[in-house]
Structure 1
Amino acid sequence: MNLRFCTAAILCLAGCLSAHSDDRYRVYLGTYTDDQSKGIYQCEFNATDGSLSSATLAAETSSPSFLAFHPNNRFLYAVNERTARISAFQIDPSTGNLTLLNSQPSQGGAPCHLVVDPTGKNVLVANYTGGSCLCVPISPDGSLGDATSFQQHVGERTHAHSIHVDAANRYALCCDLGLDQVITYRFDPEQGMLASEEIFDAPKGSGPRHFAWHPSGNTAFINGESNLTIIRCRYDASSGKLTQQQVLSTLPADVIRNGGSTAETVVHPSGKFVYVSNRNPYNSIAIFAIDSDTHELSVVGHQSSGIQTPRNFAIDPTGNFMLVANQSGGNVIVFRINPSTGQLTPTQTSVRVANPVCVRFMKLEVEE
């Protein structure tokens, strides 16, 4: 009897610990470095209550303004925007600390965005200054090889701002803010090659910056940095072609625009909502509902509480919380997401870190 009781208690405890571990994530924060910020920071996030631990330095490196994980979660990659390099780090699974493996030149100025393709064989990078994108191979040990493909955008004012691969890993789409275009490249992950395929002309003066996929894979949402808009497009996965469907302002209807810019676009894991960050002087997150059948957007509202120059932001994998990087506020703040309406409610939870510009969640592995 006692043995059965003890066994049941142990199993119950193990189940509780397992359930608890499922709600814990390591959050990596990219920053612009200066006297206060030294590189990539990390903290722990509890998705049960939205709490955050204090941030600690995971790796000292120059202005790691955007981060991406390898699919095996053993490696992290960062653009070093001010030194025009791409860095590879190995992740210590127990501490979360990062060890530099190597870095490669970005072959263009101010690399500002990168992704790892789903095979884990390549890093794709967008260079803001000069407007270009490239593909860098990943070795089995996580280090970066010499670039295998480089694409220079052509025009009077080229500023590539982000690059994204589709669900089939067949095409890579690069937003060029200066050209008002999204350029589709046919992507060969085995050879690490990019070849120009399609060009989407965004509305003139919109400045396409960042890009988010709907979970269905057939709709894309692009934020217009220059004119503070969100652009909904239909995506043809067979050709890589985007077709414009809808354009909405990211500002409240009663606000007369005077400067400002957008920064990031994020789709909720449920596919029911999409969010865009508005920077100075508006400092808010715009909230849109997505029609389940047509993917047409409708305005839900705006949240501005505690927000100061919001750059990148991210939704935790449970879909219950949003973490917003306040570049000029010197912190990352937490909002609770209403699963029915998409509205954001301040939680009064935040973590101090200087010049945060990128937020990335990784499942916290707990030893059994």
Structure 2
Amino acid sequence: MKKITLLISGIIGGVFLLAQQKEPFMAFDSQTHNFGTIKEEDGPVTHKYIFTNTGSMPLVIKEVRASCGCTASDWTKEPVLPGNKGFVSATYNPAGRPGPFTKTVTVTSNATNSPITLRFNGTVTPRTKKPEDIYPIVLDSIRFTQNFVYFDSIYAGEVLTKKIEVWNTRKTSATLSFVNAPKHIKVTFKPSATLKPDEKGSIEFIYSAKEKNDWGYVYDNLQLAVNGQTNTNNRITVSAKIREDFRKLSPKQLENAPVLKVNEYAYDFGTVKRGEKVKHDYILTNEGKSDLIIRKKTASCGCTVAELKKNTLKPGESLPLTVEMNTENKSGEVAYTITLITNDPKNAEVILFLRGKVSQ
């Protein structure tokens, strides 16, 4: 009986080993590569990884996936017969990516050792920037370092200053001005508003959150005029995120502060037909010890409206925030947000989600 058992085991083992030998196997000469130091201005670099099919069946590469969009891939498209060689290449684009890098390429095939991860690394030395690179924005032959100014986390009542650099590439002098600068943004030109040919200068934007008298994310488009002439496309966008300043509140004041609680932060309305209106109530409750003020409510889409009967909730008071969304011209999976700005020190900004599917 023992002899029979051993004989059967040997036969099964032999069949399994034979099946293994018949499968394709991807054996790379090397699965890593070091590009060393490369120059950004020299452009993309490529390395070709060579492999051999050491199995007994044709090898087919099904997919090659790079770890980032900065890497392009190529590979042997036809089946690789046993004993033959194939390749997987990786091309790295260093443009705008100075410094060290490490990337991967994952190869999926019908080989028994699939998937295989190939790795490469190196260091990119940044190219020397030309003046055109430093001043990439062109508005009527006047070059700017940027066409936006962002005041992040400016507190109500605070005044901050930021600047952008400007370069007159014209052959004649250019006088700059803004025709619609609001009162909360003061603009100064240095060395002056008039730049001689090839002269460089700067524009300072002095932002007063008190004068703006708003909350959360806000922006203004400032219309640029060159020698008194305007173009609708020549704009500098000045944006800010205005926050209430709770930094000086005492422990006692924090203890007595309002506390916002919402019954749910995300609502899935399921599937509705296009054109139907979705309506939902989020219940807001003030669980604090002083009045809760909803300073601002903003929807991420013009198709969505959020309404409150009043903006102040007494301690212990609850109130529905009614949100209505128009699904006209919508289709597929949709998701929108409603942002609340409050005087709750721990929940000064609350984001509510509304999502679902719109069918035709």
TM-score band w.r.t. shorter chain: under 0.3
**Which structure has greater helix proportion?**
2
TM-score (norm 2): 0.23
TM-score (norm 1): 0.22
Structure with bigger gyration radius: 2
